[in-house]
Amino acid sequence: MNNEPSDLTKPAVWGHPAVLLATVFWIGRARPAPGTWGSAAALPIITALSFAQFPFFIECAFWLAVCCIGIPICTIASRQLGGQKDPSSIILDEFAAMPLVLLVVPSQQRTWLVMLLAFLLFRLFDITKPPPCRQLENLPDGLGIMADDWAAAGLAACTLFAITTLMHSYGWTAP
């Protein structure tokens, strides 16, 4: 991720609807670690959906829609922000991918500890970008911005699933 040039402090750029959404209502301007802030911003929505106990397919459809809509939004926003490949202020990718990690855990089992572990695993894989995450960044426009985070979420979800399965097989449930 790149640092934005100083000329992007103009209010008109930040007021563009795509920039507003791609920065998740300007949370992406928070420093340090805007991606971490973007991931954290998804947690209240994940929590609300977990408490509501929507059917699994509705939860999946909701996050799939956010991910798909995120592609053109991130494309437009990155162009508005000077045409950079993946501006650090664009955090819709983290916001949309973080919840994907928790889809492997039934909503009734999404305790604060499981959600914290999901968050930490996602950030680990998103920051370190193991294969195929780094390679997916090379996809064009918004797809490249979003896809590496989907891969990081997939790796984090697999790891979380393994950990929670082991926990349950030994009779331990997270608080």
Any domain includes 51: yes
Nearest to 70 by CA among 105, 22, 10: 22
In 3D space, the residue among 63, 30, 80 whose CA is nearest the CA of residue 146 turns out to be 63
Give the range of the structural domain holding residue 88, as residue numbers without chain letter. 6-169
Q: Residue 140: which residues within 8 A CB-CB, separation 6 or more?
A: none
Look at residue 175 and tell me if it is in a domain: no
For residue 174, being part of any structural domain is answered with no
In-domain check, residue 32: yes
Alpha helices in the chain (DSSP H): 11-14, 17-22, 34-52, 56-80, 92-101, 112-128, 133-136, 141-169
Domain count, the chain: 1
Tens of pLDDT, residues 13-70: 888 999 999 999 989 998 999 999 999 999 999 999 888 888 999 999 999 999 999 9
Residue tagged 């930490």 (tokens): 120
The answer to whether residue 76 sits within a structural domain is yes
- At 52, list the tokens: 């509501």
Does the structure show a pLDDT above 80 at 6?
no
Return the pLDDT at 5: 46
| Selection from 42, 151, 59, 53 nearest residue 98 by Cα | 42
Position 14 in a domain = yes
Per-residue pLDDT, averaged over 133-153, amounts to 96
pLDDT in tens, 80-98: 998 888 899 999 999 999 9
Q: Tell me the pTM.
A: 0.88
Q: Examine the pLDDT at 2 and tell me if it is beyond 70.
A: no
What percent of the chain shows pLDDT beyond 90?
73
